[in-house]
Amino acid sequence: MPGTLHLYEDFVSHHLGARRPVTVYLPPGYKQDTRRKYPLLLLHDGQNVFDPSTAYVPGQHWRARETADQLLAHRRIEPLIIAAVYHGAEKRLFEYTPTRTRKLDGGGAPLHARMVIEELLPWLRSRFRISPRASNTGVGGSSLGGLVSLWLGLEHPDVFGRLAVFSPSIWWDRRVILRHAERMNHSRRPRLWLDMGAAEGESPGVYLRDARLLKAMLAGKGWRDGRSLAYHEAPDGTHSEAAWATRLPLALEFLYPRKAAK
């Protein structure tokens, strides 16, 4: 039995002064198991997650529904709710970046965080049986969506305990996210999936170099490879929805593994 998708166009953020559609995937059995509270994965760039007709490149989406259904059918992951929030089109760069630069502006991630934490998460939890625990709350995305997801996890580890970071834009503002990670001094370490494709970027190897620097910095801050951190390099991976779709199963299996029966 497949999971179900539900599109909601009534979510309004007062912090952003905007309405943002949200598509929610409910796993098989959600209606029947009325006492269960589910872990959540919140994904950025929601247009690209479930629907090929709304994807940035028409026909190329993350296939998140199909992937979750297949992994659940084979008992590879625990049942979870996936919520995909649409980006703000021309406001995307502003909202998904933690600092402002001279050439590109940006710097709206703190405001975006208030939207997610103070408005979107309560909105979702009021409508669906979602676990309130940080350890069961994940956030993820790719490119700038990966950057802001990583920033959210580092800045608010009391809210997000699982991070799905695909091809993050580490280059932003002279790799400011590396400096941010280096200054991190709290003891909480979200379970973190980090990846990068070898065919990304105009200069081969630059994106991989940055990803390896980030991985090393996280390891220096106490993340344990294979336990709290999974790092993956895709040999032919491009900067595209199709590439991220192929890596989504690996990320879900690491972040939401099926619990062993007691």
pLDDT 10s digits, 199-244: 998 886 899 999 999 999 999 999 999 999 999 999 999 999 999 9
pTM: 0.97
- pLDDT score of 260: 67
Contact 123, 240 (CB under 8 A): no
Number of domains comprising the chain: 1
Across 19-36, average pLDDT = 96
Q: Which residue did the predictor score with more confidence, 178 or 184?
A: 178
- Cα-based distances in Å from 52 to 45, 143, 153, 242: 13, 19, 28, 11
Per-residue pLDDT band for 64 (boundaries 50, 70, 90) equals: very high
| Host domain of residue 203 | 4-255
CATH code at 48? 3.40.50.1820
Strand partners, 231: 194
- pLDDT score of 184: 85
| Residue 262 located in a structural domain | no
Contact 214, 169 (CB under 8 A): no
**Tokens at 128, concatenated:** 């669906």
What is the overall mean pLDDT for the chain?
Answer: 96
Per-residue pLDDT band for 1 (boundaries 50, 70, 90) equals: confident
| Residue 85 located in a structural domain | yes
| Residue 16 located in a structural domain | yes
Strand partners, 166: 142, 195
Contact 207, 200 (CB under 8 A): yes
Alpha-carbon distance of 50 to 91, in angstroms, equals 21
Share of the chain above pLDDT 70, in %: 98
Across 93-113, average pLDDT = 97
DSSP state of 143: E
Alpha-carbon distance of 143 to 162, in angstroms, equals 17
| Residue 261 located in a structural domain | no
Does residue 261 register a pLDDT over 70?
Answer: no
